[in-house]
Amino acid sequence: MSRVAIVTGGTRGIGEAISLALRDMGYTVAANYGGNDAKAQAFTEATGIAAFKWDVGDHQACLDGCAAVADALGPVDIVVNNAGITRDGVLAKMSFDDWNEVMRINLGGCFNMAKATFGGMRERGWGRIVNIGSINGQAGQYGQVNYAAAKSGIHGFTKALAQEGAKVGVTVNAIAPGYVDTDMVAAVPAPVLEKIVAKIPVGRLGQAHEIARGVAFFCSEDGGFVTGSTLSINGGQHMY
C-alpha cells in the first residue's frame, strides 16, 4: 500500500519540487494550495498529482481538507508543511495584520495540519512530518520580524512535537532553506539579490529540487532514526 503525503503550498516553487520528489518515491501525493486555481489545474494536468484547495491558516479548513484527502486517497502518513507567505517591512511600518497573517499561515498552519493528522499517524505507528523553516528563522533578517519569528517558531515546534511522536514511530523534522531560485526570491530587486548571492559561499542561489531531496530523506524509511532535527540547506550562508 502506497503512503499518502500532503504537501502544503505544493503546486508551486519549492512545494512543487517536493510534491514531485515524493511522487517519484512511489508515494501518493496530494498538493494543497491556497488560491491560484489556474496554476493548480495546470500542475495537476502536468504531473498527475491531485490538488486540494484550502487555507492552512484556517483550523477547521485543515481538518476538513485532510479528511477529504483521506477519503479520496487513504490515511495520511506524511505531511510537509511548506505553505508560507511574506509581508515584509520594518517594525515601524508593519501593521498588526501584516504580523498576524504571517504568523497565522506560516506557523499556525503547522499546528493546524499536525492537529489534523498526528493522531492518525500515532495510531498506525508510522508517520513523517517535515516543516519548512528558513535561514531567516535561524539568523534573523532586517524587515522580517514577522517572517523570522514564524520560521523560528517552526524550529521550536518541530523539536517539541518530535518528542511526542518518537516512541510511536512518528518523526518530526525541519528543513531550513537558504535563498532558493523561486518566484518569491525573483521578486527581490536585482541589486539586493546580487548582495545576497555575494554572501553565499557557494556563489549561487539554491534550486528547489535541492530542498526536495532533503525532504525526501526525512520522509523515507531510512529516515526513521532522525527526529527533532533541522537540516540547513543554504550554500553555507549561515553555519552554527
Q: Are 109 and 85 in contact (CB under 8 A)?
A: no
List of residues 6+ apart from 59 with CB closer than 8 A: 108, 112, 115
| Per-residue pLDDT at 79 | 98
CATH fold of 4-233, please?
Rossmann fold (3.40.50)
Q: What is the full per-residue pLDDT of the chain (240 aa) written as tens digits?
A: 689 999 999 999 999 999 999 999 999 999 999 999 999 999 999 999 999 999 999 999 999 999 999 999 999 999 999 999 989 999 999 999 999 999 999 999 999 999 999 999 999 999 999 999 999 889 888 899 999 999 999 999 999 999 999 999 999 999 999 999 988 788 888 898 899 999 999 999 999 999 999 999 999 999 999 999 999 999 999 998
- Tell me the residue ranges of DSSP E strands in 20-161: 28-33, 50-53, 78-81, 127-132
Neighbours of 16 (CB within 10 A): 25
Reported pTM: 0.95
Q: For 86-114, how does the pLDDT look when each residue is reduced to its tens digit (9 = 90+)?
A: 899 999 999 999 999 999 999 999 999 99
Question: Which sequence spans correspond to the domains of the chain?
Answer: 4-233
| Per-residue pLDDT at 184 | 76
Q: Give dist(CA 122, CA 201) in Å, integer.
A: 41
| Per-residue pLDDT at 1 | 61
Residue that has been written with the C-alpha cell 524587515 in this structure: 143
| Per-residue pLDDT at 183 | 81
Residue 166's beta-bridge partner residues? none
Q: Which three cell numbers stand for residue 104?
A: 497565522
Catalytic positions, written as ranges: 147
Q: Give dist(CA 203, CA 199) in Å, integer.
A: 8
